[in-house]
Amino acid sequence: MQNKTKLFKTAICIITTLILIFGTIPCGAVLSDESNTPTFTNLVVFMKFSDEDEFINNTYADTTVRNILDNTYNKSVYNVADYFKTVSGGKMNMQTLYLFDNNNSLTLSKPRGYYAEKDDQNPYGYESGEENSRMYELQTDWANTISNAITNGNKPKDIEENQYNFADLDRNRDGKIDLITVIYKNTMQNISVGWNSPLWDYHSYSNMISVQEGVNTYQSGEYLQLTCNYENVNGLVLYLGEDNLPILPTGKICHETMHALGLKDLYRSNQTSAVYYMSLMAKHLTPIGQYISVKERESLGWLDNNQIKTIDKNGTYTLYPASAQNEVVAYKRDLPNEKTLYLEYRQFDDNGNKYDTKNKKLYSCNTGDLIKGVTLKSGLICYLANTGVRFPSNINTTGANWNMQVISNGQYSTMSDCAVGDGEELYIGNDIFVYVTNMSADKLEFEISGIAETTPTPSPTPTPTINPTPTVSPSPIPSPTPTATPRPTHTTSPTATPTITPTASPTATPHPTPTITPTASPTATPHPTPTITPTATPTATPKTTSNPTATPTASPTLSPTSTPKPTPRPTATTNPTITPATSPTATTCPTTSPTHDINCNIEGNNISVKLTNSTSGGIILISEFHSDGRLLRCTINSPQENISVPLLSATNTVKVMWWNSLSNLVPITDSKTVTK
């Protein structure tokens, strides 16, 4: 008995010492193993406008708003954290915490209508041309509101009210809060919310919040703002999994959160896409999002060298389903046309993972009906992405030029039939064919042909002479024209990549002052009926010409069939209007102020800004422009000695301005413009 008492006291001493050294352990928190240790924290902040009542304890489907959000992020069988853990192969463990103000939502300083367009029903709104300054005011409003709540002693909590430290918001220890998600109160007010307007759902970047804890400072960075709806005129717009926990649609939430990790939109502003259902970043299948592409998973570091392999010669290869662990789930190969081919095996039937399968056990809270998914063909998915671009985006592409696309023999623009099935063949381009030889629930085998075999030629040994004669290098042996291997039972001819009809780009209307535009991520508006794109059927043997990209001889046969109707998303969207800005000239202006200066350069995929005499105040506007002069994004930052902001692309032009304030557009010093 004495020994047991001694051991118990020793254990208490050890635990007490650990708490003193490493800080408090939240009451009720589970000390989990390494596989469940959070690697990323999302801080959700509920906010209401000054003319609105408390809402987080309102109930829908007999569940409070705060619990609906926690079901959505942390608890449901289809919760957001589970999505990221599954798609990342366990490499991302997301934890969502909450910042309350005395256990209530935070209140902004102005009414909702102030941040919406002015009309007869909304006399407090902004006039045309003021939307960008109002967007900045809204960003400043919620940043100040969060800072005040923290100053008043509020700390991050989980839904059970266990308290956490601010250090828990910075899991990678880079001094920045991993992510802030602002959730506004749902509203039935007749207020216009257009694409890219201040109240639109979007992702952007702001460093306006700074939290001091001990000797460490934690600053805001990536953030999302969302307005979540729980019901409409037809009833509830919530969903239930097998666990009967009411949740919001997670597709949009996961899509926007992916932006905070670096991924870009794979659709255009007119909602067309050459990827569509093959990635969450193009179009989500149901209210629950599906997998992203293997290219995107590689870009996020979620696949290791044992899971994605490079093809260097013709032959037969084996792929395992996208969700397989410790197996090869992808192959890739760089092509001569500055494109990289990616191949993966996706299953959308009952054999698929819980996020790709059509047959999710998901029900409407309003009617109790099972939500029917879109029927997609399982098999080999073939992507082409721009070589060397980590995060490709299709948002500013035009015509047949896509930074990332799916190639297929399919007919539908939704890519619902893009997979190469068992016994089917696809012409990739550059004389390369792929042919699926075997497909089962466990794996897929395919042959690839047309890769030019290179045999190294030994260098001739020079004979020493007094006046050596230059040795003529032997000419390379020309490779024979590759021909698709005949199959005993398969005669399907390869099909050229379908031509996608370009949509006219909006006419640029330059403005003298760059438009402040956050990285808006509009929700893709579903097409009531996808357009049938007839597929040209070429002959099996591609021609070899002086052009490095071989083009098969086309003999078109038009065979359209009925088009499946994709499931519309529950939230309505507004057609986007793009307002381009004046293109900056990539030259550096001379500095006129001896005491203030901006030094900036592009380092990797970030713009690095160093300020001289940064304590003078004002605001720093960092505008990012496309090569054609269109403004892509503008972030507002508080002056600091060193500022680093991630760019949409390292090849864009960036203009940095230091102003007194947004309402008093007086430059403190000359702006600087840089292009890598």
pLDDT at 62: 97
Check residue 277 and report its DSSP letter.
G
Residues facing residue 211 across a β-bridge: 218
Residue from 276, 277, 226 nearest 256 by CA: 226
Mean pLDDT throughout 42-70?
A: 98
| CATH architecture of residue range(s) 597-675 | Sandwich (2.60)
pLDDT at 224 over 80: yes
pLDDT at 540: 39
5-25: b (≥16 Cβ within 10 Å) or e: eeeeeeeeeeeeeeeeeeeee
CA distance 293 to 282: 10
Mean pLDDT throughout 193-200?
A: 86
Quick count: other Cβ atoms within 10 Å of Cβ 559? 10
> Who wins on pLDDT, 635 or 200?
200
**Per-residue confidence band for 411, with pLDDT thresholds at 50, 70 and 90:** very high
Contacting residues for 124 by C-beta, under 8 A, at least 6 apart: 111, 113, 114, 118
Output the CA torsion 403→404→408→413 (10° steps). -90
Q: 446-450, 615-619, 669-673: which range is least confident on average?
A: 615-619
Phi then psi for residue 465, to 5 deg, are -135, 170
Residue from 675, 634, 637, 631 nearest 653 by CA: 675
**Start-end of H helices in 450-590:** none
CA distance 254 to 62: 25
Chain-centre distance of CA 617, in angstroms? Answer: 33
Q: What is the mean pLDDT of the chain?
A: 79
Whether the CB-CB separation of 618 and 662 falls below 8 Å is answered with: no
CA distance 271 to 527: 8
Q: Which of 29-38, 79-88, 282-291, 516-525 has the highest mean pLDDT?
A: 79-88
**Per-residue confidence band for 257, with pLDDT thresholds at 50, 70 and 90:** very high
> Who wins on pLDDT, 509 or 378?
378
Return the SS3 of 613: coil
- The CA R_g of the chain, rounded to the nearest whole Å, is 28
- Determine the length of the chain: 676
- Predicted confidence (pLDDT) per residue in 149-161, tens digit: 999 999 999 999 9
pLDDT at 205: 95
Mean pLDDT throughout 653-675?
A: 76
pLDDT exceeding 70 applies to what percent of the chain?
Answer: 72
CA distance 96 to 145: 20
pLDDT at 33 over 60: no
> Who wins on pLDDT, 529 or 414?
414
pLDDT exceeding 90 applies to what percent of the chain?
Answer: 57
Q: Are strands 597-603 and 606-612 parallel, antiparallel or unpaired?
A: antiparallel
Mean pLDDT throughout 569-594?
A: 41
Q: Which of 223-237, 457-471, 554-568, 570-584 has the highest mean pLDDT?
A: 223-237
CA distance 408 to 430: 15
**Per-residue confidence band for 296, with pLDDT thresholds at 50, 70 and 90:** very high
Domain boundaries, given as residue ranges, for the chain: 33-230, 597-675
**Per-residue confidence band for 661, with pLDDT thresholds at 50, 70 and 90:** low
Residue with tokens 């989500």: 284
- Predicted confidence (pLDDT) per residue in 117-155, tens digit: 999 889 989 998 898 999 999 999 999 999 999 999 999
The single-letter code of the amino acid at 378 is S
pLDDT at 402: 97
Return the SS3 of 268: coil
- Predicted confidence (pLDDT) per residue in 360-410, tens digit: 999 999 999 999 989 999 999 999 999 999 999 999 999 999 999 999 999
> Who wins on pLDDT, 454 or 109?
109
Q: 155-164, 168-177, 196-205, 603-612: which range is least confident on average?
A: 603-612
pLDDT at 455: 59
CA distance 628 to 625: 8
> Who wins on pLDDT, 33 or 35?
35
Mean pLDDT throughout 441-457?
A: 87
- Predicted confidence (pLDDT) per residue in 335-345, tens digit: 999 999 999 99
pLDDT at 541: 39
pLDDT at 49: 97
Contacting residues for 594 by C-beta, under 8 A, at least 6 apart: none
pLDDT at 640: 81
